[in-house]
Structure formats: C-alpha cells, structure tokens
Chain A
Amino acid sequence: METCSVSGRKNGVNILPIAEYTIMENIRSKIFYILLLFIFIMAGSSLVFSSLAPYTEARVITDIGLACIEMFTLMTGIFAAVNLVLQEIENRTIYLLMTRPLHRWEYIIGRYLGVLVILCFNIITMLSVLVLLLKLTTSWTLSPMFIWSAVAIFFKMIIIVAVALTASLVFTSSITAMAFSFLTWVLGHFSSELKLMAERIQSFLAKGLLYLLYYAIPNFQLFNLKDKLGIPEGMPLDIVSMVLLYGLIYAAIFLVIGSLFFSKKEF
C-alpha cells in the first residue's frame, strides 16, 4: 500500500463534507415523512376551506398554508439541530470525527449549514405543494406578499437553527434545548411587547430582566417582510439586506457561543 498524499489543511476545509453528510443523513432519515404529513394536512384543509369560504378561500388557504409551513419548518429545524450533535455523542459516532484533523468549530458550522440547506429544500417543497393546491382549487395568482412571507420563514430559520444547535451544546439535554429554542421563538415574536412591559413595570428586578430578554432574544417581528409591502415597486432591497444581516449576526453570535462550549467538551 503506497503512502497517499494528504492535502494541506486549511481552516474551514472540513465544513463542506460535514454539511454534505448532514444533508445526506436527513434525506435518508424519516424526517421527510413530515413533508408527507404536511401535504395531507394541506390537501385536507384546502378541501374543507374551499367549501366553507367560497369567496375568500384563496386567502384562507394561503394564510393557513404559510402558517403550517412556518410551524413544520420550525419543528423540523429545532428537532434536527438539537438532535444532530446530541445523537452523535450518544451514538459515539462523534469519536471518529473528533479524532480527525478537524476543528471543532468546523463541525458545528458544517452541521448548521447542512440543516439550513435541508430546511430550504423543505420550504420550497411545501411551497410548491401549497401553490399547486391553490392553483387547483382557487383562482389564486402569485403575489409578492406570498414570496416575501416564504423568504421571511427561511430568514427566521437562520437564527433559530443556530439557537437550537447552541442550546443542545450548552444544556446537553434535548428536551431542555428544544424548550429553550421554542421559548426563544415565542418571545422573539413578542419583542415590542417585552419592551413595553419593561418600560411600564415598577419592579427594578423585573424591569432589568425584561430589558435583558428584549436585548438578548432576537426580534422576530422584524422578519414580517409582508408588513413592509405596499410600495408599488416591490420590496426595497435595503430592508431585506438589513433583516438578513440582522439574522446572520444573531446566528454568528450563537454559533460562536456554541463552538466555545463544544471546544471544551470531552467525549
């Protein structure tokens, strides 16, 4: 057996193989059955609502469909991100990875990007089903609101997957990590309410806590891109860029925290 040339190891070079195998793992796992569940729920609800609300059925199906897409993506995103590393530790497959010339942060980023690609694929698949149902059952036409709502779902996932992945490394319990991620998601949708409460509450301790939550938790209300519609020429690119940048910065902060925890982890 000849000695094989081993390439020079550049930082970040292992992110791609880790991401690719995360995608392959998800494609071959049963998580895709959730998409089938979505298709059945959507098909069922479209039949029910098209008969119940004959004049506004397109609007009702669109709203329910987008809400379903967001919830299914959130559930699969949190579940996949939390279980990825924890299962790897539990199954001991992590041993063979961590004994390779691999930076631990490369592993975290690779896993993160892999989950995001899978979620993007899931969103596109579910949107296609929704569009098909709307076309078949109503006189619906594609609107910018529809597209920006879908984009917003993905932007939110950029943050929540990083939160879930980091939570799994910090708490090392899948239930706690999932609960934390879900709580972050819920509170992030009430960001302005948190600030209002912080301003009005008398207790110094409660005020401090509410302000801490307000600043620490990502503001998911910013991602409601459809609320910013109304401009005839469409969605301004600078708004989209700012929202995306906000999401990326939050994700980066969480991933740095997660990588720091992971770098100290023993197996």
Chain B
Amino acid sequence: MPAVKVENLTKIYKKRYFLKPRYSVGIKNLNLEVEEGETFGLLGLNGSGKTTTIKLLLGLLFADSGQAFIYDHKVPDRKASNLVGYLPEAPYFYRYLSAQEIIDFYGRLSGVLEQDRQKKIDEILELVNLTNNRHKRLAEFSKGMLQRVGIAQALIHDPKILFFDELITGLDPVGITEMRSLVLRLKERKKTIFLSSHIISEIVKVCDRVGIIKEGELVKIVDLRQLKNKDAELEKIFLSTVMPSGQEGAS
C-alpha cells in the first residue's frame, strides 16, 4: 500500500474582485503515489502548485474534485493526521513559548501520552540539537533554530510520513547543511518523506524520486536512483520541462 496516494486531485482557487469571481488553478488532475520509506520531492517554480498539493494532503485546503489518501485514510481525516508530521515554509510559532513548551503542546495535541512525552521531547531535542536551548523563548531563536524546532514538532508523535514545504528556503549554508543532515537521518529511520522545493541541488541530495510540477500539473516523475550525474541531469530535465521549448539554453 502506498503511503501517499493522490487520484485526479484538482483545486481551483476562487477570489472575488468587486463581486466578480476570478478563478485560478491550484492543481489540476494530479495523480501520484509515494511508497512507504521513500523520499519524494516535488519540484517546481514558485506558484506551480507544490504547497497547494501538500496542503490538500494535510486537510488545510479542500479539493474541488479527486481524492487523496494517507495509507487507507481518505483525507481530510483525523486518523490520517496522526500519521503525518508537517513543517510549513518559514514556520511561525508562539513566540512566548520555549522550545520545550511548544513541542510538549504539539505532543499533547497529537495524543502522545504524558508518561512518554518527556522522554520523547528529550530525544527529539537531542536529535535537532536544541537540548541546551530548550528553555529559551522562541522569540530569541534564529531562523535556523526555528526550523529545527519545526522539525522537532513534526516528529513528536513519531509520524510515519513527513511533509516538508520548502525546508531550506531562507536558511544560511550552515542551516542548509543541518537540515539536509536531519532529512538524511530521518530517511535512515525509514520515514516516508514528502518535500517540496525549487532548489534542484538540494533535492538531488536527499530524494529518491522527484515529481516536476508546472502550472498545477504534474508533468514528469524522475527516478533519481537511475541517474548518474543527478544534479546536471535533473537540472536539464527540469528546465526542458518547465520552460517553453527553445528557451532552456537561455537560462
């Protein structure tokens, strides 16, 4: 059974300008399967539908047609929510809480039992290297540290699937290296990871397969395990896919 399954998923955004509705495509007829333990990357330009896809899978948005499954749970579903961990792009947290408090809060909401919670928090803070800053308020944290808190909250209930939206956007080189290392460690633990990015060089370092999304449509799936020179080859495939023919060389 695939960990994530998407069937003909469509999302159309509707906005009103002076009472006149305007429509824009979020995603269109998207079909996709991600196997358990796989690291799958959704690659696309800004506004191509990466975040929309993730939000639909998490129940933050509702599909206009089609369906999505987390294992055998059709989303949105509370049981599916217990199987996933999510880190949004540039996550915001309650700044008045400490790292320890915020992870405890999300642990409680995810149903992690009190007797297990402290042990679990200790392990996760150790994993994301925040043990020494656990009692510091998040208002005092750097962007990289906040991103690590984001990973920690996503892991507190030991989910099977992790959704990372633009994990490294806005991070400095040290932060990027830390995030990559964390993803690789989670991959070693056989977590299913679904991440979105527009940075090819990072996606090739962690992903098994990559889906290229353009204007809301999943136009190509590339198995990186079959590529020799992953970075260069994926870049070539990506540019030839997302850019109008004849313009690839110009970039």
Mark A residues whose CB is within 8 Å of B.
Answer: 1, 3-9, 13-14, 17-18, 21, 24-25, 28-29, 91-93, 95-103, 266-267
Contacts and interface: CB of A to CB of B under 8 A. Distances in A.
A265 to B, nearest CB: 10
A6 B109 contact: no
A67 B69 CA distance: 56
Given A6-B110, A7-B111, A95 B60 contact: yes
Interface residues of B, number: 38
Nearest to A16: B108
A99 B58 contact: yes
B113 A6 contact: yes
B116 A4 contact: yes
A26 to B, nearest CB: 10
Contacts of B55: 267
Given A95-B91, A98-B59, 9 more contacts: A1-B158, A9-B82, A18-B109, A96-B86, A96-B88, A98-B58, A99-B59, A100-B106, A101-B109
A31 to B, nearest CB: 12
A25 B59 CA distance: 26
A187 B59 CA distance: 39
Contacts of B110: 6, 100-101
Nearest to B123: A1
B94 A13 contact: no
A92 B112 CA distance: 23
Nearest to A97: B109
Interface in B16-44: none
B94 A21 contact: yes
B188 to A, nearest CB: 11
Contact of A95 (B86, B109, B123): B86
A96 B85 CA distance: 9
Given A3-B158, A13-B111, A28-B96, A96 B61 contact: no
Nearest to B114: A7
B244 to A, nearest CB: 32
B78 interface: yes
A17 B91 contact: no
A9 B79 CA distance: 9
18 contacts: A3-B158, A6-B112, A9-B111, A17-B108, A18-B109, A21-B97, A24-B97, A25-B96, A92-B90, A95-B60, A95-B86, A98-B60, A99-B84, A99-B86, A100-B81, A100-B106, A102-B78, A266-B62
A59 to B, nearest CB: 41
B225 interface: no
B97 A91 contact: no
Contacts of A95: 60, 86, 88, 91
A101 B79 contact: yes
Interface string B52-85: 0001001111100000000000000011011010
Given A17-B108, A92-B91, A101-B109, A4 B60 contact: no
B83 to A, nearest CB: 9
B120 interface: yes
A137 B86 CA distance: 58
Residue among B84, B96, B112, B120 with the most chain A CB within 10 A? Answer: B96
B231 to A, nearest CB: 31
B73 to A, nearest CB: 11
A171 to B, nearest CB: 15
A97 B62 CA distance: 16
